[in-house]
Amino acid sequence: MNDLLDSFLSFLVVEKGLSENTLESYGRDLKKFLLFIESRGITSAREIKYNHILDFLTHSREEGLTATTIVRSMVSVKQFFKYLL
pLDDT in tens, 45-75: 999 999 999 999 999 999 999 999 999 999 9
Distance CA 26, CA 8 (A): 10
Q: Over the chain, what is the mean pLDDT?
A: 92
- Report the chain's C-alpha Rg in angstroms: 12
* Segment 18-44 mean pLDDT: 93
In this prediction, residue 46 carries a pLDDT of 93
pLDDT band at 19 (very low <50, low <70, confident <90, very high): confident
**CA terminus-to-terminus distance, the chain:** 15
In this prediction, residue 84 carries a pLDDT of 93
| Domain architecture of the chain: domains with CATH | 2-84 (1.10.150.130)
* Segment 4-14 mean pLDDT: 91
Contacts of 27 (CB under 8 A, 6+ apart): 5, 9
In this prediction, residue 22 carries a pLDDT of 87
